[in-house]
Amino acid sequence: MATGLVIKNTGSWYTVEDLATGKLIPCRIKGKLRLKGIRTTKPVTVGDRVEYAAGPGADSVVSGIHERTNYIIRKSSNLAREAHIIAANLDLALVIVTLDFPPVNPEFLDRFLVTAEAYNVPARIVLNKIDLFGAPYAERLAEFHEAYRMAGYEVIEASALTGVGIDRLRDMIRDKVTLFSGNSGVGKSTLVQTIDPSLTLRTGEISSYHNKGKHTTTFSEMFKLTEGGYLIDTPGIKGFGLIDFEKDEISRYFPEIFRHSVECQYYNCTHTHEPGCTVKEAVEAGKVSASRYISYLKLLEEDEKYRK
């Protein structure tokens, strides 16, 4: 029996890096490895620490999973039965967005951030392809920055094309396990490749960024960085359905809404219609962005719809 790190999963095969020797071992999974309670598509995910041993045949077999310190989990839609754990044991999650090509979906972004809050994964936002967002985007760009500054999230402007922000990202992820997540076509793989040119990844063809439905990366993979640490490149995701949230819990995971809620008149204020709601006041005063507040309302609404 040896301990390893799951760095890739394709079909029923898992690539496990032996933590003692650094060797890459192809493994299968034996029997039931389900972790408590969660119904997930796969029992093991990239970033998991596992026990493995040589099986009866030539194959090695994963026989146990170490407890996860954290993870990012999603459902493809709210109606999906099973959840998918994108990656586990993360020091940092970077959610990559672009204002356009493809256009940013604030609800998607906010759901990602809510999940990161709920599962204790530090998260930051990378605003990529900044080379494309000149003067005509000035207002949208300022709004975006303002919304997430008020929420307390760092936004890093980057461009794999011009090199803006790349040194900063490289410093940020050194010696950490970092997840790169986001919609398809935002430039995740290109960024990974630019940050560490010794890696070779499949990326979309240059200037084919309009094809937002085309998934270039098809499975998650963890790469060892030359300067130390690991980076996980993932396939683009469209929907981000949340799991296991109680209605009164949701506002906790919007840091700025939570902060403004301490003075609401009612103890169990939902920040929707109550008098003396300091969250609504903050939205009206521009201290909480309207877009973030809308994301919050949508999550509440959805929660009611699916939990009845």
Query: Contact positions toward Zn ion, by CB under 5 A?
Result: 264, 269, 271, 277, 279
Q: For residue 60, how many C-alpha atoms fall within 13 Å in the half-sphere facing its CB?
A: 21
| Residues 167-196 within binding reach of ligand GTP (CB under 6 A) | 184-190
SS3 label, residue 100? coil
In the complex, least distance from residue 194 CB atom to ligand GTP, rounded to whole angstroms: 8
* Residue 205 interacting partner from Zn ion, Mg ion, ligand GTP, none (CB closer than 5 to 8 Å by kind): ligand GTP
* Residue 70 interacting partner from ligand GTP, Zn ion, Mg ion, none (CB closer than 5 to 8 Å by kind): none
Q: Which is nearer to Zn ion, 62 or 279 (CB)?
A: 279
208 interacts with ligand GTP by CB under 6 A: yes
Q: Which is nearer to ligand GTP, 131 or 302 (CB)?
A: 131
> Cis peptide leading into 102, omega within 30 of 0?
yes
Taking a C-beta distance cutoff of 8 angstroms, is the pair 275, 293 a contact? Answer: no
Backbone region of residue 33 per phi and psi (left: phi > 0; alpha: psi in -120 to 50; beta: other values): alpha
9 interacts with Mg ion by CB under 5 A: no
SS3 label, residue 225? coil
* Residue 20 interacting partner from ligand GTP, Zn ion, Mg ion, none (CB closer than 5 to 8 Å by kind): none
Amino acid at 248: D
* Near ligand GTP by CB under 6 A: residue from 91, 131, 274, 302: 131
* Near ligand GTP by CB under 6 A: residue from 90, 236, 296, 299: 236
In the complex, least distance from residue 207 CB atom to Mg ion, rounded to whole angstroms: 16
For 116, list phi and psi in degrees, rounded to 5.
Answer: -60, -45
Q: Which is nearer to Zn ion, 62 or 299 (CB)?
A: 299
* Residue 151 interacting partner from Zn ion, Mg ion, ligand GTP, none (CB closer than 5 to 8 Å by kind): none
| Residues 141-170 within binding reach of ligand GTP (CB under 6 A) | 159-161
- Which pair of structure tokens corresponds to residue 292? 């973030």
248-251: Cβ within 8 A, 24+ apart: 249/118, 250/114, 250/296, 250/299, 250/300, 250/303, 251/279, 251/296
SS3 label, residue 199? coil
Q: Which is nearer to Zn ion, 74 or 280 (CB)?
A: 280
SS3 label, residue 180? strand
Taking a C-beta distance cutoff of 8 angstroms, is the pair 287, 99 a contact? Answer: no
Identify the H or E element spanning 92.
strand 92-97
* Near ligand GTP by CB under 6 A: residue from 43, 55, 229, 235: 235
Which residues sit at the interface with Mg ion, rule CB under 5 A?
A: 188-189, 216-217
